[in-house]
Structure formats: structure tokens, C-alpha cells
Amino acid sequence: MKDLSMLSFTRTRTQQRTNRSLSLSAMDLEDPKKKTNFLGNIIMAAALTALFILMLKQSPSFNTPTQFSRHEAGVTHVLVTGGAGYIGSHAALRLLKDSYRVTIMDNLSRGNLGAIKVLQQLFPQSGRLQFIYADLGDKKSVNKIFSENAFDAVMHFAAVAYVGESTLDPLKYYHNITSNTLVVLEAMAAHGVKTLIYSSTCATYGEPEKMPITEETPQHPINPYGKAKKMAEDIILDFHKNSDMAVMILRYFNVIGSDADGMLGESPRPELREHGRISGACFDAARGIIPGLKVRGTDYKTTDGTCIRDYIDVTDLVDAHVKALEKAKPSHIGVYNVGTGRGRSVKEFVEACKTATGVPIKVDFLPRRPGDYAEVYSDPTKIRSELNWTAKHTNLNESLLIAWTWQKAHLDGYGTPQLMSAQI
């Protein structure tokens, strides 16, 4: 684990200093007659120092911190907050494949150390990937991390991200979304980090009457999650008016899928399953963890009566992030919807899930759930024309098959402790 080697690096350096002074004074005490023999002491100290440096050089983490702490021509160093999470880990994978230098900051409150381990195994070379265990709510440690590392850009994913949970525990959302974004922004400003890519959401639009949703659609969020994200956007926009920072705000629609090579997947904590998303519920039903799927609402004014959503594959989503990063310009702010532009009904989604899993999942059709809106899908024209991005993985069968393949091979997620899987 890079975080641990980072820690041990700093510890070793302190130890090195302490040990050296200790051994010198020990010699002084033991042999007062030789006290004048400074040369001997100096040679001894030099030998010890050389030994320590040798030992440090053998540890792979020796070069790492210096590489991360210096800007290097031709290398873009991206801080990925929330990089242990579902989308953040996929973004880190893509950045690493594209030769970016990546630092992941995450406090593992929701993400998986297993995802970090996968990335470290794929990119073990020094100066590629570093993991820092830290809480974004802790302003002091965030500032320390910014002062010790030379970031060129930040992709800010870290957040709590469940609509249902946000209505039950709104303060958690305002704290971990809005307030933490302020901490990130302040640290970026204080340390001259010039580019920000921000994870926002279609939940900031609320319930617009007109479909599809464009970036001009008025934002009237209807739950604390959407409101907290909108507030964070507003803070970024206001700050930007007086800054030369390059900012890209990406508003994602419903994210599904996992990387095609099967290295990473979506693996939320068992206790979050109840707030979970439709693909997770489908897979749980296919595995028999839950008895079946409950589809709420069959009398919406849609083609088949069930709700319509815009499902975006995570591979396309992280591609949009890289394009946004490449096209970010100082003093410029870009706001983009990231969706396919096509709505799919819940019934369609469930059929695709049955196809992908090969399991005839039991579906119960129930009355509407209050607060659900009939139809949400994006107009992705702007991102296509300005960033040359368009969704490529738009076959639900295929996206879900890739995600299911990972799920089947990781019945225990990234290796959940027995205690936790027992709670499922």
C-alpha cells in the first residue's frame, strides 16, 4: 500500500535523523577520551547516513514522494479525490492508461481499498500512482497534502451520493459535498492548482418540465443531494469570476457499467444497498441476495408506463473527464451534461439485465413512489460540439454484461470482511 509506504517514508526520515544524533551522543558518552576524534565521528555519521540512504533507495517508495512533489514538464499530475469509489477508480484507471500521474485521496468511508490495490498492481512504476488516506473534511491535512504535492489538476469525485439517504440525513450531504468542495477549492487557490474538473449531477435540475435537459435548463433541485451539489457548483462559479482557474463542471446522468477489461467494478458497502441504484439491485436479484425487483410506477405517461432515465456507461463518462481535462482553459468555465441523449424505460433496463445475467429475475410492479419523476434524459449536443465527446457504449445489454461479469467474479466485492458480508 502506497499510503503506508508514504507514512513509513516520513517516519524513516525522522528516524534517520534521530538515530544519527542518538548514535553520535552514545559514542560521546561511551568514549569521552575520543571526544576530540571528530573525524571518526563524522565518518561514522556519514557511513550511517549512507546506509540509511541505501536502505531507503531499496524501498520502492523512496523516489515516489519526490516525483509527486515536483512539477515535471510533459507530465500532468492529477489529484483524484474519491478515487477509491466507483467512478473515481475508473477515472484513475483511464488517467493512468493515458500516462497521467495520479494521486488518489480518499478516506475509504465508502470506497474500496481493493480498487486501489488493483490500480497499484497495474501501475507499480514509481511516480505513477500514489494513494493518500485523508479526509477532505480535515482542512489542515488537505492543505498539508497540497503543500507536499505538485498537482496540476484536480478531479473532485469524493462525495456521498444517494438521493434517498440525503433526505434522511441532509447535514451529512451539505457537509460532505458542499463544505468539502469549499475545502478543496481553497486548497487549490492557496497552492496555485489551476484546473478543476467537478462531478456534478442531473439531480441539480430537479424536475424540469421540458425534455431533453440542456445546460440552460433551470436548476431547481428537489432533494438535499441535488441541492448540495448545486450549492457546490455555485461556490465554484462565484469563485471562478475572480480567478484564472480552468473549470469544467460535468453533470452526469445515471451511471452504469464497469471497465471492459474487468479490472474494476461497482461495489458499494452492504449497508448502502437499500439506497442503491438500479443496476446494483438487478445484480443482487440475479444473485438471489434479494428476492426480486420492485418496479414502482407503471402508469407514467411514457411508452410503457415505467420511468425513463438516461443511462451512461462509466467508460464513456471517464472519457468525458479526460476530454474535459484536455480542453480546460484558464479563466474559462465549461458546464456539460454527460448522458447518451436517449431515455430508456425501467422495463427496458430490467429486460437488458435479464439478458445480461441470464437469470429470469422476478419483477413486482408496484404503485408509484412519491418524488419520482416520469422522464429524465439529456441533450448532449453541447459536449459533442465543444469537447468532441459522444457516448459510445450505448447498448444496455453489453454494458450490463460487462458489469455482471465483474460482479460474478467478485461475489464478495473487493474482498469484504466476513463480518460485513454476513450482514448482507
Ligand X SMILES: *[C@@H]1O[C@H](CO)[C@@H](O)[C@H](O)[C@H]1NC(C)=O
Ligand Y SMILES: NC(=O)c1ccc[n+]([C@@H]2O[C@H](COP(=O)([O-])OP(=O)(O)OC[C@H]3O[C@@H](n4cnc5c(N)ncnc54)[C@H](O)[C@@H]3O)[C@@H](O)[C@H]2O)c1
Give the Cα separation of 206 and 210 in Å (integer).
Answer: 12
Find the binder of ligand X among 97, 139, 144, 172 (CB under 6 A): 172
> Could you tell me the three cell numbers for 146?
497540497
Binders in 378-407 for ligand X, by CB under 6 A: 388, 395, 397
Please report whether residue 232 would count as binding ligand Y according to CB under 6 A.
no
**Span interacting with ligand Y, options 37-45, 63-71, 133-141, 295-303, rule CB under 6 A:** 133-141
Please report whether residue 88 would count as binding ligand Y according to CB under 6 A.
yes
Closest distance to ligand X from the beta carbon of 342 (Å): 11
Please report whether residue 176 would count as binding ligand Y according to CB under 6 A.
yes
Residues that bind ligand Y (rule: CB under 6 A) add up to a total of 26
Q: Residue 331 binds what, of ligand X, ligand Y, none (CB under 5 to 8 Å, by partner type)?
A: none
Please report whether residue 178 would count as binding ligand Y according to CB under 6 A.
no
Burial of 371 (0-12, 13-18, 19+ CB in 10 A): exposed
Binders in 144-173 for ligand Y, by CB under 6 A: 157-159, 161
Closest distance to ligand X from the beta carbon of 3 (Å): 12
**Span interacting with ligand X, options 92-100, 170-178, 225-233, 335-343, rule CB under 6 A:** 170-178
Find the binder of ligand Y among 199, 217, 219, 306 (CB under 6 A): 199
Please report whether residue 201 would count as binding ligand Y according to CB under 6 A.
yes
Active site residue ranges: 225
Please report whether residue 326 would count as binding ligand X according to CB under 6 A.
no
Burial of 370 (0-12, 13-18, 19+ CB in 10 A): exposed
Q: Which residue is associated with the grid cell 456534478?
A: 200
Binders in 60-119 for ligand X, by CB under 6 A: 107-110
Closest distance to ligand Y from the beta carbon of 224 (Å): 12
Please report whether residue 331 would count as binding ligand X according to CB under 6 A.
no
Closest distance to ligand X from the beta carbon of 383 (Å): 12
Closer CB to ligand Y, residue 87 or residue 328? 87
Residues lying near ligand X in the complex (CB under 6 A) are found at 107-110, 135, 137, 160, 171-172, 175-176, 352, 355, 388, 395, 397
Residues lying near ligand Y in the complex (CB under 6 A) are found at 82, 84-88, 106-111, 135-137, 157-159, 161, 176, 180, 199, 201, 252, 254-255
